[in-house]
DNA sequence: GCTCACCGTGCAATCGATTGCAGGAAAGGT
DNA sequence: ACCTTTCCTGCAATCGATTGCACGGTGAGC
């Protein structure tokens, strides 16, 4: 067996490379470290450097990132917190975060917090134990001072998906998104409208709902509190809210759900009540996830730039680590009209 | 300011605790390390131990996991590879993996490989650089020898979602699942059936398709090759395949898609061709993701125990690290009947 | 009262890298 | 030809923990 190139056995360390190349380990470190910097173009390599690199390649040397961080006090990793990866919205944002971070030389650690305050604290502590260089939080809650505490502790972080006060964040302009939805439904002639508003502690639901209601008010359309219901952001949540909305004498002719999955739940409830989506009740969602357009009744929705949010969140965190000051970034939403929302019928009055 | 308890400043190290407690750092290490073992019950603590613990708590000491792994050569972390976290099926499995791993004292690193062979190699190397104690692969490809190579390198791993030869794996019994789908559709009287078969390199799609076709053959129902189409596992993939299936003189009366999202894509295509799901063409999916039952036409599907797969995959990997031999585990699927598949009509014959 | 075992503690090496400092060689300037 | 600058390299300390070894004290056993 070829003991000089251990495959499944012991790892090749910098020392192995150095010994083999007949140089000191510090020399080997410098040579290999420079390579990473990419400043290759500046002049030819010395013989030694050439040799060290060749041997490192031959031996399949891979530096131990932990040993390096121990010394440098940097880990080149980010921690990412999400309420749940099974939520396609957050999964998409995380996907973009991971990809962008990698391009910039960072690895990421994700953690699910199930929107639980205790879990949020625990997971952040675990991530900080792992010496992450910064955090991206996708689960900020308006009813918690946790992000304020983080800021006070000087932990570098950026919020995404949900914003929180003046803390650095990259989100969709949800208030505008809510306004677009309202303008759309009102333009179709709907006057008896309802909102499936999401969790009260999430800025997403709150802002979308506020924008929506603001436009209604400005247009003189009254929306009683009984037609604005909080809900979970998933299918079951939308369904539960819709069941309450429909169990009245004059149900709404249009429902704005602040999340596509909740909107799908609303559609399910409508079906069970014998009502046709679009024809009997208009439904508008939020985010424009890929299935929205393929549903048996394609879902009208407000598109939010999910991947862009992830990308910019990483950019913002990097900028922050560079000492720059990033503020609150809001990306533009776009109204997508589909078959689930059509003009109100006369008899729906 | 209270310099004895640095909040945002330098970290508290074991040395700080030791000095403060008036003991050697090794003593502090031993005391705190024993706590983790949980063998607390065995007798009262010595004064020293008591003091060290108290001080560690007061100072908010948190051990540096990297420094520890450097010495112990264990990281208590697993690496997890998935084709994409934006696929709810894999996200759900990962969610269970993460939770189970944490219960057993392991942190996890996830990586997306987009089902790309190059990326798969790269990401595994990065995970191994990070000294993960083991890998869980959710993206094994039948057209690649990568897992064979990993096995040859003695890297501890377990496959999930997709199996590969005799390598340790925890999957759904997909062949049985395919059989269930076929039995269901044939029992409804369908004879002109089609399969949206997923990617050819995934055991999931392959096994489900094989099971389905086996039952058809055993029942004397011929399924021409033109009605078995490969596809991506997402909505767009199902839609593309369905468009080809429907662009013929006598389209099938039933379609089995090996994935719920692909099934939703099929439903979208049917709608655009003016056909009604369930009434004109039966559709059966696979996995029973939560939206399946809330779709305007609820989707019949083969339920696979996704969370259980994740849990057992972790258990299997732990067992393997304990030196035990785990074989190929297949969990039972279940047929869920809903409105998207109804008895064939006379005129469809 | 003596011996042996055991427990608690300290010492120092170690894991695998990075980096400030210093010495020597080569290159460049006058 | 001499001095200065620059570059390359080696030495050794360091990051924050863990752990084998040795030593001293205490308690048990006879």
The per-residue pLDDT for range A277-320, each reduced to its tens digit, is 999 999 999 999 999 998 889 999 999 999 999 999 999 999 99
pLDDT tens-digit map of B249-285 = 999 999 999 999 999 999 999 999 999 999 999 999 9
Which residue ranges make up each domain of chain B?
14-63, 75-172+307-327, 174-305+335-348
A330: left (phi over 0), alpha (psi -120 to 50) or beta: beta
- Fill in the DSSP letter of residue A281: B
- pLDDT of the residue at B41: 40
pLDDT tens-digit map of A4-36 = 333 445 689 999 999 999 999 999 999 998 765
Whole-number Å distance between alpha carbons of A270 and B20 = 66
* Residue B8 in this model has a pLDDT that exceeds 90: no
Chain B nearest-CA distance from A142, in A, is: 23
Q: Which CATH superfamily groups domain A174-305+335-348? A: Response regulator (3.40.50.2300)
Residues in chain B within 8 Å Cβ distance of A275: none
Chain A nearest-CA distance from B219, in A, is: 32
Whole-number Å distance between alpha carbons of B136 and B130 = 15
Closest CA-bearing residue to C1' of C12: B26
Is 3.40.50.2300 the CATH number for B75-172+307-327?
yes
Q: List CB contacts of B74: < 8 A, sequence separation 6 or more.
A: B133
Q: What backbone phi and psi angles, to 5 degrees, belong to A240?
A: -60, -45
Q: According to the 3-state scheme, what is the secondary structure of B77-111?
A: EEEEEECCCCCHHHHHHHHHHHHHHHHCCCEEEEE
Residues in chain A within 8 Å Cβ distance of B267: 294-296
**Which residues of chain A are modeled with pLDDT < 70?**
1-10, 35-45, 349
- pLDDT of the residue at B6: 39
Q: What backbone phi and psi angles, to 5 degrees, belong to B336?
A: -110, 115
Strand D nucleotides in reach of protein CB atoms, 7 A cut-off: 8-20
Whole-number Å distance between alpha carbons of A295 and B258 = 18
Closest CA-bearing residue to C1' of C10: B24
Q: For residue A272, with 0-12 CB atoms within 10 Å meaning exposed, 13-18 middle and 19 or more buried, which class applies?
A: middle
- pLDDT of the residue at A50: 87
Are residues B136 and B160 in contact, defined by beta-carbon separation less than 8 angstroms? yes
A126 touches strand C (CB under 7 A): no
- pLDDT of the residue at B325: 87
Classify strands B254-257 and B282-287 as parallel, antiparallel or unpaired.
Answer: parallel
Out of A66, A92, A236, name the one closest to residue B70 (CB). Answer: A66
Q: How confident is the model at residue B36 (pLDDT cuts 50, 70, 90)?
A: low
B72 touches strand D (CB under 7 A): yes
- pLDDT of the residue at B40: 44
Q: What backbone phi and psi angles, to 5 degrees, belong to A136?
A: -120, 120
B30 touches strand C (CB under 7 A): yes
- pLDDT of the residue at A41: 40
> Which nucleotide lies at the shortest CA–C1' distance from B68?
D17
* Run of H or E including B303: strand B300-303
Whole-number Å distance between alpha carbons of B335 and B36 = 45
- pLDDT of the residue at B45: 60
Domain A14-63 identical in fold to domain A174-305+335-348: no
- pLDDT of the residue at B345: 85
Mean pLDDT of chain A: 92
- Nearest CA to B232 out of B204, B211, B207 is that of B204
Percent of chain A past pLDDT 70, that is, above it, reads: 93
- pLDDT of the residue at B194: 98
* Run of H or E including B28: helix B25-37
Longest dimension (CA), chain B: 90
Q: Which CATH number fits domain A74-172+306-332: 3.30.1050.10, 3.40.47.10, 3.40.1010.10, 3.40.50.2300?
A: 3.40.50.2300
> Which nucleotide lies at the shortest CA–C1' distance from A13?
C16
CATH placement of domain A14-63: 1.10.260
């Amino acid at each position: 067996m070829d003991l000089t190139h251990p495959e499944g056995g012991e790892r090749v360390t910098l020392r192995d490379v150095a010994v083999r190349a007949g140089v000191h380990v510090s020399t080997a470190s410098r040579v290999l470290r420079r390579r990473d910097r990419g400043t290759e173009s500046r002049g030819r390599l010395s013989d030694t450097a050439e040799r060290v690199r060749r041997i490192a390649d031959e031996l399949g040397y891979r530096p131990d990132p932990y040993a390096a961080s121990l010394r440098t006090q940097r880990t080149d990793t980010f921690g990412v917190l999400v309420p749940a990866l099974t939520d396609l919205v957050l999964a998409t944002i995380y996907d973009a975060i991971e990809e962008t971070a990698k391009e910039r030389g960072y690895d990421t650690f994700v953690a699910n917090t199930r929107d639980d305050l205790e879990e949020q604290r625990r997971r952040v502590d675990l991530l900080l134990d792992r010496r992450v260089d910064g955090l991206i939080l996708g689960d900020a809650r308006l009813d918690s001072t946790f992000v304020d505490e983080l800021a006070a502790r000087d932990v570098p972080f950026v919020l995404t998906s949900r914003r929180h006060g003046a803390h650095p964040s990259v989100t969709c302009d949800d208030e505008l998104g809510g306004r677009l939805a309202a303008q759309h439904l009102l333009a179709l002639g709907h006057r008896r409208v309802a909102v499936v508003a999401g969790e009260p502690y999430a800025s997403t639901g709150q802002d979308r709902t506020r924008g929506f209601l603001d436009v209604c008010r400005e247009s003189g359309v009254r929306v009683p509190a009984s037609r604005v219901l909080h809900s979970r952001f998933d299918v079951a949540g939308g369904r539960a809210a819709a069941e309450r909305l429909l169990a009245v004498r004059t149900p709404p002719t249009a429902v704005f759900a602040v999340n596509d999955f909740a909107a799908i739940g609303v559609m399910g409830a409508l079906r069970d009540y014998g009502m046709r989506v679009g024809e009997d009740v208009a439904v508008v969602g939020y985010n424009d996830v890929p299935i929205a357009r393929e549903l048996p009744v394609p879902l009208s929705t407000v598109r939010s730039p999910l991947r862009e949010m992830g990308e910019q969140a990483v950019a913002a965190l990097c900028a922050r680590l560079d000492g720059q000051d990033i503020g609150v970034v809001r990306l533009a939403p776009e109204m997508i009209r589909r078959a689930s929302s059509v003009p109100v019928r006369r008899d729906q009055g």
